[in-house]
Amino acid sequence: MIICFTVPKELRKYFFEDRRKLNELSKEVARVIQYYYRRKNKNKQYEVGVITVIHTFGRDLKFNPHSMHW
């Protein structure tokens, strides 16, 4: 499964000013995905793995932070 998480236009300036926030955001999104799947499968002891790749620019080369999760 691939999930694309995009930062809304109104919030992009905060991530542009401090790029470290992108790393924090990526970690939190991964935690939410892990939490969701653990709750969904309580009776099964799955270990949920998440790979995160942060893209900071869109096709038009404007700052558009988004990340892909596998």
Mean residue pLDDT of the chain comes to 79
User: Using 50, 70 and 90 to split pLDDT, how confident is the model at 66?
Assistant: low
Q: Greatest CA span in the chain, whole angstroms?
A: 46
Which ranges in the chain belong to alpha helices (H)?
12-17, 20-40
> Where do the structural domains in the chain lie, given as residue ranges?
3-69
DSSP letter at 47 equals P
What's the whole-model pTM score?
0.65
Q: Residue 51 CA to chain centroid, in angstroms?
A: 9
CB 2 within 8 A of CB 70: yes
The answer, yes or no, to whether residue 35 has pLDDT greater than 80, is yes
Residue for token pair 């790749």:
53
